[in-house]
Structure 1
Amino acid sequence: ASFSLVAMLPAESQCDNSEVAKSSAETCFEAPPRVTGDELNTSIIRYVYKSNSSKCESELVRPTDKNVYETLHSCVTACRTEQGAPMCAGVVGYNCTTKGDQEECYDAYYFNVELNQCIEYRANITGRYEEYNTFFRRDTCEKDCLGFTKKDIQPKNQS
């Protein structure tokens, strides 16, 4: 078995990145069947590879489902989607500790790519919160962002 793996290494290293990504995506299995209504109470959020978008996305799955990933970074790395996590590098929402009405503020988290950690702050978001590097829960911030670096946080393919 190790003979064929060694024989394949030089050939794979000659491929361009798109060929490597394509072959990896072909080995990255499709998401499990969707959770049904009566399974909602026992479902959990995980990251799955979606062949229709060629990206990793969060989805409700059963705890026993296979082909799911605990973090976005583990899915992106395994499936080589090169999609990054641009929301983790975006603008941090309005910080209430320095300005603003405290009544309109809530506890939130943003991802600091330099420190590779989620930092708590007081936020006031107007408009679409999805456009900001702001998360309502620390665990969501960590599952979406931890592991990404300045080198891979932005998507390689802008499609």
Structure 2
Amino acid sequence: MQRIATNLFGAWFQIGRQFPKDTLDAIAARVSDGERTHRGELRVAVESRLPFAAVSDGVTARDRAAELFAHLRVWDTEDNCGVLLYVLLAEHRIEIVADRGIAAKVAADEWNAITSHMRDEFAKGHFREAVLTGVDEVGALLARHFPSDGSPRTNELPDQPLLL
């Protein structure tokens, strides 16, 4: 019942205030800047809430992140190193889903450290800083494990965050 109430009545309706255009543009710029230092692809998705049917069916934030990872084709990158940074505002959940190429090289505690840093910023009401922190830290991991070789590359996924 708590999850249903949270998703129905939580502050999800404020997504436009929490992520105005200038914040979305700053996140996109940070994703783009980071992708110059590595061969990975980062996609950011922020969802205000889950639908009632999904919550009542037991869909978790992790399940939803995995669904979006597939739907947004984050898995379909040349080097198998796509990463989805997913935020579910209503439930205060942050999930990182990584493709097999990067998941094999990055330990779970490294991903957990990123989500912890983001949660700290969200708890202070710093929505912009929370996501920028996540983007920077994911980018640093990708730069360490999949560094750029300096050659031009195609941007395989949009840099602009997706608001759902």
For the criterion TM > 0.5, the same-fold answer is: no
More strand by share: 1
More helix by share: 2
TM-score, normalised with respect to structure 1: 0.27
TM-score, normalised with respect to structure 2: 0.26
- Larger relative CO (CA 8 A, sep 6+): 1 or 2? 2
